Amino acid sequence: MTDSLQRIHQQIATTANYFRMGMEAMASDSFVKLVESLLTSSNTQNTETAAQLNFILSEIIAAQQRCDYLYIADLLQYELQPLLE
């Protein structure tokens, strides 16, 4: 695993924890940084991974609109993280 990918995995864990603890401002800030990292990562450049990533991100946005922070944390930990392994 590359340093960049390790950093992304750490960002995912940190962001998920912020959402689980109800720290909305920290979670949102961390999520923005995570998305920026994902956009520059070479692991998200193939078509299949990009399509799955888009689906997960759209689910996260929908969950944010519903203020369903636990679901966001679950999506990050159980959907996004395995996708990038």
In tens, the pLDDT along 1-47 reads 688 889 999 999 999 999 999 999 999 999 999 999 988 876 556 78
What pLDDT is attached to residue 3?
Answer: 84
What pLDDT is attached to residue 1?
Answer: 61
What pLDDT is attached to residue 10?
Answer: 96
Provide mean pLDDT across the span 65-69: 96
Q: Cα separation of 5 and 8, whole Å?
A: 5
What pLDDT is attached to residue 45?
Answer: 65
Q: Tell me the two tokens of residue 72.
A: 């966001």
Is 70 exceeded by the pLDDT of residue 85?
yes
CA separation, residue 57 to residues 3, 34, 60 (Å): 23, 11, 5
